[in-house]
Amino acid sequence: IIAIAAVFAVAALLAIIRMILGPSILDRAIASDVLLSEVLCILGADAVINHHTYMLPVMLMIAATGVLGTVAVARFVARRDRARERADG
């Protein structure tokens, strides 16, 4: 359990550093997806270790938030890129 916690802590720290440093919005979006995935894995590991399933609805909501956030960022970046192409062309 200590090894699992250490691996997740290092991965979360690296994801938070990438969210802060960037450099682009896509880097930050991917880092936030990684962080959400880590939270899901931690909750899943807790459920397996302690033999319970009451966190499953929370895990589903976190997963849905991650998917919707990724789609929103992708649409924003695509729209911004199209606007730049129109301005340049």
Buried b (16+ CB within 10 A) or exposed e, 51-87: eeeebeeebeebeeebeeeeeebeeeeeeeeeeeeee
Model pLDDT, residue 89:
64
Q: What predicted TM-score, i.e. pTM, was given to this entire model? A: 0.80
For the chain, 89 residues long, give each residue's pLDDT as a single digit of tens.
Answer: 888 889 999 999 999 999 999 888 888 888 999 999 999 999 998 999 999 999 999 999 999 999 998 899 888 888 888 888 888 86
